[in-house]
Amino acid sequence: MARQLVVSGPDDLPSADPTDAETSGAAPSVSLRGFAALGLVATTAILCGVVLGGTAFMSRLPGAWFFGTPGGPLGSLGPDGTQPSAAAVVAVYGGTVLLVVTWLRLLRALRRHPGVAVRRVVGVVTTWAVPILVAPPLFSRDVYSYAGQGEMVSHHISPYLYGPGVLGATPFSDLAGQLWSNTPSPYGPTFLSLDGLVARLADHQVLADVVLLRLLAVVGVALIVAGLPTLARAAGRDAAAVVALGAGSPLVLMTLVGGAHNDALMVGLLVCGLAVARRVGPVPGIVLCALAAGVKAPALLGAVFIGWCWPGPAAAVRARVERTVLALGIAGVTLAVLSWISGLGWGWVGTISAESKVSTGVTPVDAVAHLVTDGAHLVGWQVGFGGVRVVFAALGLLAAAAITAVLLWRAPRIGLVRALGLSLLAFALLGPVLWAWYVTWGLVLLAPVATGRLRRAIIAITVVETVIGISAVDGMARTLASAGVVDDLLIVFGLAAVVLVSVLPFRDYDDGPLLRAPWSGHRADQPAGVTVTAAQRPHVAQ
């Protein structure tokens, strides 16, 4: 079948040269071994710090993992308290800083040496991931809720009516925690069908179930890696650099792999849906986007954007509306068939908002609500934070919907991938609840089309969410406040030493600013002394 272009625009520029050394025949002479080794040191430090750090970083309930918890097959390691030691704090946050800096240096090296084979970058990121794969579920207990919901599905109990607590006093309900063990599932039939299958494959053993769920998240990341090169080449970008930016970021490793979040499967199916729509045609791409929506509902936007851009850049509005309705019909039929085959039905439509039961306290919505509440108190108006937050949560969702409408209208001109990625990022940042892994929805999709200010924004958001979004910063602040002077000094000097070591130059890869605009006279991906004239600069919309 001939290739069908879904949309023309800045992210559909033809690639002037093959971006993968496997197709170009001449691999750049750049070594990635140093990046692999230093990243491995970083993730190993994180593993050691998590295991020795108490409940600040992982669940300490009996049997929560193979090691580091009471009742685990390999015994208990480290303290059971909520106050991590100075060494644990330095190991976790120092390892995180080192991993972030190593990733930034890798991005710089790939920009300076385009054409590196994608498999080499995948090898580097896989090396970084090894300690994370053997670590306990990091910074979140969501995977235990997944395991409980899968156990319910395997026993034909609707997860849309009950939480894992209906299973009784079992590890599946105990490990999920009191709040989530009584909360129905907000996830769609794609994920819960696989979740139930995992429970049966694990022979209803909770630890084996959690391991398989983490491997399912790895499958999601593998789908991201498989789809990004197609989108990168369609946008005229270097495939290896895009894979490193989108799939190899510390945020993806720490949350999607380390936390085993099902967002990995959602984003993986969505990326592959866009790639298949680009290479094969819109219909199979829409089906894959519908399967992604069957994990988490926001992925349904993928089908909407594909439908809107389906007729081409010069189509009339009526034709776009007709194709969008058709796309939603295809997606609806896909989800209906899946709901019928799985026997799960459409109950997830009514439980989508279940995740908003918890306020993370670090969202733009919460920040504005706090400012308004405090300001009202200063002028004598006695208003409660909860009521103000509800209002601004609704306003945040309305703002995200308005941004999405504008991006949808402009998608044929600015590019489908760019518009969809910005829309998902808007919903993540302006939603009532913001977890670090939510921003991966948009950041991963934007990686193939990111240049200039957009690329700098992606890197900045990734760094911020990796450093402060992966764990409870307020809890760590209380830990430092209650620790002794000696522990505080050890933490400060330890982290300072990590930062100092991290910023040491990597031989000849370190000249030039990392966040240089891509077309500013001297290209960051060309050898020194080579300039690009105005006539040679391709048009790239920022």
Please state, as a whole number, how many other Cβ atoms lie within 10 Å of the Cβ of residue 475. 13
Q: What pLDDT is stored for residue 205 in this prediction?
A: 92
Give per-10-residue mean pLDDT for the chain (542 aa): 45 40 50 91 90 75 77 56 70 88 92 92 96 90 92 92 87 81 89 95 93 96 96 94 95 94 96 95 96 95 96 90 96 94 85 64 72 78 76 88 96 94 94 87 95 91 82 55 54 59 46 36 38 37 32
How distant, in Å, are the alpha carbons of 11, 107, 110 from that of 289? Answer: 19, 29, 30
pTM for this predicted structure: 0.84
Alpha-carbon span 129 to 250, nearest angstrom: 10
Helix (H) or strand (E) holding 453, with range, is helix 452-468
Question: Per this entry, what is the length of the chain?
Answer: 542
pLDDT tens per residue across span 354-364: 665 566 556 77
How distant, in Å, are the alpha carbons of 87, 137, 255 from that of 91? Answer: 6, 17, 18
pLDDT tens per residue across span 179-228: 777 888 899 999 999 999 999 999 999 999 999 999 999 999 999 999 99
Residue in the structure block whose two tokens are 């670590």: 135
Backbone angles phi, psi at 73, to 5 degrees: -55, -30
Residue 453 Cα to chain centre, angstroms: 20
Concatenate the DSSP letters of all residues of 335-389 into one string.
HHHHHHHHT-TTGGGGSGGGGGGS--S-SHHHHHHHHHHHHHHHTT----HHHHH
Alpha-carbon span 108 to 503, nearest angstrom: 13
The CB-based long-range contact list for 364-368 (8 Å cut-off, 24+ gap) reads: 364/396, 364/429, 364/430, 364/434, 365/389, 365/392, 365/393, 365/396, 365/430, 365/431, 365/432, 368/392
